[in-house]
Structures are given as C-alpha cells and as structure tokens.
Amino acid sequence: MTAGTYPSPEPVEDPEALRADEAAYRDLADAVRELLDLTVRTRVDQPERAAVATEVRALSARLSARAQDGPLGLETTSDGRLRDHGNPMVGMRNPVAPPLTVRQTGEGEAAADPFVLGAAYEGPPGHVHGGIIASVLDQVLGTVPAIVGRPGMTAYLNLTYRRPTPLGQVSGRARVAGTDGWKTTVTGELLDADGQVTVEAEGLFVVPRWARQYLGTPTGDAGDFEAPAEAGPDA
Ligand SMILES: CCCCCCCCCC(=O)SCCNC(=O)CCNC(=O)[C@H](O)C(C)(C)COP(=O)(O)OP(=O)(O)OC[C@H]1O[C@@H](n2cnc3c(N)ncnc32)[C@H](O)[C@@H]1OP(=O)(O)O
C-alpha cells in the first residue's frame, strides 16, 4: 500500500494494449521463474553453468537498458485498476512469486487457488521453508481485510506449524474472525496436495493511520461501513 505516492509511470489508455503489455510482463516472469527453478536443480557440468551465467548476465544488461529506479509500489492505470506487480507472492512481474492467485470465496473469505511450490522454496528436505509459508499466509490472510473494505498492514501473524508441508501443490484459505474499528482479525490455513491442513494462522491487520482518511468510518462490522466521504474519527 502507498498513500497514492506511486502514480503509474506509464498509464495505458488502450485496454487491448494494456492486456498485451501485461501478458508480456507475465511471460517474462514465467520464463525467469523457470530459470530460477532450473538454477536450483541443474546438474549440467561446470563449463556449461559458466556459459549460462554469461548469457544470463547479457540478458540482464538488455533489461537494464530501461529500468525503474527502486520498487514498483502500487500503480494505478487509466483503466482504474490498482497494480502491485512487484509483490513477491502475487505480483505478475515478479519471478520470485510462486505466483499465488487469491480470490474472494464468500463474504469475508478468500482462498489461494492450488499452486506449486518447487525446489526453490525448499526448507527441510522435500518440504516447504517455514518463512515461505509465512509469506504465503500473510498474503492470503492479508487479502481478507481488503475484501471487507479495511485493507490493513500486518500487525502480527501467528503461525502454528502442525505438520511439515511437502513441496508440490498447496493451497490456502482465510476468513474474518473479528473486526474492531480499524482492526481486522483473520484466521486461515495452508493445505497440502491431499487437502490436509499443515499450518494454521491468525493475523491482525490494521489500517494505518495515514490510510484512514481514504476509507469510511468503521462501524465494527465487516463489510458494513459508511461511505468514504470523511476521515475516520482518529485518522
Ligand atoms: C490489496 C491489499 C492486499 C494486501 C495483502 C498484503 C499482505 C501483506 C501485508 C504485509 O506484509 S504488511 C508488511 C508487514 N507489516 C508492517 O510492516 C506493519 C508495521 N507496523 C505498522 O505500520 C503499524 O504498527 C501499524 C500500521 C500496524 C499500526 O500503526 P498505526 O499507527 O497505524 O496504529 P496504532 O499504533 O494506533 O494501532 C492501531 C490499533 O491497532 C492495535 N495494534 C497495533 N499493533 C498491534 C499488535 N501488534 N498487536 C495488537 N494490537 C496492535 C493498537 O493497539 C491500536 O488498537 P486500538 O485502536 O484499539 O487502540
């Protein structure tokens, strides 16, 4: 989130052009993600690895011919969408992102469609790194307050790792557990390919003071808030 300090450097007026532009960014990230995975898993011999490293550096030089200074932030486009393309969990431009697709599944509920965590996300042998799991659940749980109109920053995220999560297909889900003004408590789980819960999470998401003026006054009930005409009581 930003306070509107990251206007799009390249607003696109033509929706077709925007779609094509975004598809090309997504394709580049997909290709580099494949490279990341194979960089971890490759067993080609040393001279071949050295040759590939030289080629990859040449490709980086091509991309740096025109690159933004610093992070992407949250961009707005002329089609009215917000874009967090650099996000390391869902960002379409980010090859580090698995990527996750988090969707609203009901009132105050969200879920991450099944996605694959491969060799690049390994912690314990054959299993997902605990910090990666925290990132995934931060994103899945963090989407829920946004769905109910209270997009907040993570104040805390408590995780209970019930069992190791095998690498491969995983999914996630989350829902509102309670709201209190600018604060939303969310619970959620990570599930393995068999649908077994491996990790449980509870997070508190708080609309930061600087963002409250852009939202309506909270009434305390998720999804039930006043129009964003005026700042909240303690903004
Ligand atoms: C489309 C969007 C999708 C988003 C998905 C994103 C998922 C990823 C989210 C992140 O990763 S965010 C990055 C990690 N989090 C941070 O960097 C947050 C750092 N902390 C802060 O910026 C501030 O501490 C915070 C915004 C959480 C609160 O600061 P504020 O100055 O805005 O509010 P304040 O300190 O007055 O606290 C507001 C309320 O929250 C309570 N609170 C804050 N931190 C708490 C805490 N840790 N535990 C319990 N309560 C807490 C605080 O007591 C108070 O309660 P009351 O209103 O009832 O008095």
Query: At 53, phi and psi to the nearest 5?
Result: -60, -40
Atom number, ligand 1, closest to the C-alpha of residue 209: 32
Nearest residue (by CA) to ligand 1, atom 36, is: 209
Judge if the beta carbon of residue 235 lies within 6 A of ligand 1: no
Q: Check pLDDT > 60 for residue 6.
A: no
Asked whether 91 lines ligand 1 (CB < 6 A), one says no
pLDDT tier, 78 (very low <50, low <70, confident <90, very high otherwise): low
pLDDT at 2 over 80: no
Closest protein CA for atom 5 of ligand 1: 142
Is residue 232 domain-resident?
no
Is the beta carbon of 171 within 6 A of some atom in ligand 1? no
Residue 231 lies in a domain: no
pTM of the entire structure? 0.89
Looking at residue 48, its pLDDT comes to 98
Contact by Cβ (8 Å): 101, 129: no
Question: Percent of the chain at pLDDT above 90?
Answer: 71
Q: What is the pLDDT of residues 169-218, one digit of tens each?
A: 999 999 999 999 999 999 999 999 999 999 999 999 999 999 888 776 66
Residues 153 and 205: their CA atoms lie apart, in Å, by 5
| Confidence check on the interface: ipTM exceeds 0.90, yes or no | yes
- Whether residues 139 and 79 share a domain: the answer is no
138 CA → ligand 1 middle, Å: 13
Which pLDDT does position 18 carry in this prediction? 79
From residue 128, alpha-carbon distances to 115, 131, 151, 197, 208 in Å are 13, 9, 28, 14, 31
- Could you read off the pLDDT of 26-43 as tens digits, one per residue? 999 999 999 999 999 999
pLDDT over 70 at 8, yes or no = no
| Structural domain count, the chain | 2
- pLDDT for position 12: 61
Q: Which of 52, 77, 97 is the last residue of a domain?
A: 97
Q: Whose CA is nearest to atom 6 of ligand 1?
A: 142
**Which pLDDT tens digit goes with each residue over 104-114?**
999 999 999 99
The residue whose CA is least distant from atom 49 of ligand 1 is 155
Residues 107 and 93 in one domain: no
Q: 2 C-alpha to center of ligand 1: Å? A: 14
**Of the residues 66, 97, 128, the one at which a domain ends:** 97
**What is the average pLDDT across 146-167?**
96
Q: Helical H runs in 42-101?
A: 46-63
**pLDDT over threshold 90, residue 98:** yes
> From ligand 1's centre to the CA of 209, what distance in Å?
9
- Among 206, 214, 215, the mutation site with the greatest number of ligand 1 atoms within 8 A of its Cβ is 206
Q: Can you tell me the distance from the alpha carbon of 226 to that of 224, in angstroms, rounded to the nearest whole number?
A: 7
Q: Residue 51 is part of which domain span?
A: 1-97
Question: Do 138 and 218 have their domain in common?
Answer: yes
- Domain presence at residue 233: no
Residues 90 and 108 in one domain: no
Q: Does ligand 1 have an atom closer than 6 angstroms to the CB of 2?
A: no
CATH number, domain of 105, equals 3.10.129.10
